[in-house]
Amino acid sequence: MKLSIIILFIVILIFPIQISFGQNQTDSQIKEWGSIGASLMQEGKFFEAIEYFDKILEIEPNNVNVLILKGKVLSETKRYSEAFSIFKKALELDPTNEDAKKQSYFAINHIRLIPITNSKYLGHVVLQLRNSQGTLVSVFVSDALGYLPHEITDEYLNSSPVKELVKINGQKYEKREFVETLHAKKSTFIGKAVLGYDKLGYDIYPFDVLPHGITIEKGDTLRADWTILKKIN
């Protein structure tokens, strides 16, 4: 009985040491991969750098520093949509990370909005400009909207209630309506109207329209009525 107890004690004592040693090995390997990835990044070998960052993220998928490094590499290779997704994840894990916020802002502003034609969206916007006395000055109506080709566009829509379900040519859509108003504090010129929200600490615009320029005088009010339809699969 005493021999059994001694053997059991030795096994218990050794086992945690083995676990600790294995963990130290992993930490050392992660540091080595990170160092190699960063060096490759500085040398402009971006695709090779991503391979090392991905190795780390397979083990530590929530490693914010490595996520940011990978996002920067994706931005350098003009893969802005993928980069934004990476920075967005980093910010969700660490909302106060200023580097992730700065990099995500850079990435999303390099994603070009594309026409909603042949997409899963339909849209309509009415822009009404009134002067300081409330008199209607001009009206602009368009279905030629642009949209941000990223999953955050759906996230934006899903954050707002569905007004109703509609069917067009046999296809069902979720219908949402948005109203935005601008009260001009000074005279200005607007070349683009945008629809969006404050996300990740700055404004993101999933939809826009080009009204060929609207001149607004101080005291004018510009009202935008947006209707967005999203296809239901």
pLDDT on residue 215: 92
Whether residue 174 contacts residue 229, with contact meaning beta carbons closer than 8 Å, is answered with: yes
Closest CA to 112 of 185, 42, 205, 32: 205
**pLDDT single digits (tens) 1-41:** 444 444 333 333 333 433 333 456 688 888 888 888 888 88
What is the three-class DSSP state of 187? Answer: coil
Closest CA to 87 of 59, 114, 106: 106
**pLDDT single digits (tens) 47-70:** 999 998 999 999 999 999 999 999
Q: How many whole angstroms from its chain centre is CA 151?
A: 7
Both structure tokens of 70? 């990978």
**pLDDT single digits (tens) 79-96:** 999 999 999 999 999 999
Question: Using 50, 70 and 90 to split pLDDT, how confident is the model at 212?
Answer: confident
